[in-house]
Amino acid sequence: MPYINKFITIADSQKAYEVLINSGFKMREAQRLIDRGRLLCDGVVVNEKNAVLNGEICLIDYETNPRGLEPIFECEQFAVFDKPSGVLSHPNGRNCEYSLNDEIWHLYGREASVAHRLDFETSGLIVVAQNRASQIKLKKLFESREVKKCYVAMTSGEIKNDMTIEAKMDLANNYDDVKMRMQICEDGKDAVTKISPIEYFADIDATFVRAVPLTGRQHQIRLHLFHVEHKILGEPLYGLDREQIIKILDKEMSEIDRINLTGASRLLLHSDEILFELDGKNYHIKSKFDAKTEFYKFAKEKFELT
């Protein structure tokens, strides 16, 4: 497991922040560790920096477990990974066994971090800042929409022409719904997606498309395509009922059942290109994943089962 209790020292009537500073941490780092509940005294979480401690002091630390995923591009400031589907961008809790952080911290150290996120089942390009200075610059670019991202997807049905989908969206406010699901709503946030068909496959009744989000809402491409009745194949959230969604998310649904239900064993959405300018230099990075060929294979599986 990546999270371990790492022994630091034995405290003898010392304040929590003093224990950490004496162990080599800066005051700011010590405060952050305590605020995040990472400091333990005899197995009990320490919540106050001035708490007087006696006993065995441990830190809940992240032990990297790299699997050999290498970046497809790197420079002094950042790197770009082609994230596989089914890999978290960052840990989602102390029981998380693997995430992109395992590779990032193994290669670049603890200051490295993702500059943006990709959904668990979405594959493709993700930018990683190698240090905090680069992280600040890159996050500003993403937040100010100065980064152009192009995705590809395999969608249900035939899309013949380019389309621009403008539909406001926000987090679903139905407490009986799945908490992460978004919804189209009149009082939501503006969201615009451009869709261009690349190739229609009549044998599977699906269209391989290019999708460019002009805004950066959660699940934007997924929800917009569902909204115009061209759901992405393998979609685990939209167009399903709560029970079906939970079975997929909890991995309680068999692969065959999921293929029959959603059209593929994974979400057929891939972050294919990314373009931005940083410190006066233009970057245009293209994924090495042959999404059209691979997505067709995934989509074809449903027809081979019958």
The CA distance from 63 to 94, in Å, is 11
DSSP 185-205: -TTSB--EEEEEEEEEETTTT
Please name the residue ranges forming H helices in the chain. Answer: 16-22, 27-35, 100-108, 132-143, 220-227, 242-249, 255-262, 291-305
Contact 289, 123 (CB under 8 A): yes
Phi and psi of 83, rounded to 5°?
-70, 130
Q: Which of 82, 102, 119, 272 is catalytic?
A: 119
User: Is residue 184 exposed (0-12), middle (13-18) or buried (19+ Cβ within 10 Å)?
Assistant: middle
Residue type, 282: N
136-156: string of b/e by CB count within 10 Å (b at 16+)?
eebbebbeeeebebbbbbbbb
The CA distance from 247 to 164, in Å, is 33
Tokens describing residue 95: 């029981």
The CA distance from 177 to 30, in Å, is 39
19-57: string of b/e by CB count within 10 Å (b at 16+)?
bbeeeebeeeebeebbeeebbbbeeeebeebeeebeeeb
The CA distance from 270 to 267, in Å, is 9
Q: Is 102 considered catalytic here?
A: no
What positions carry a catalytic annotation?
Answer: 119
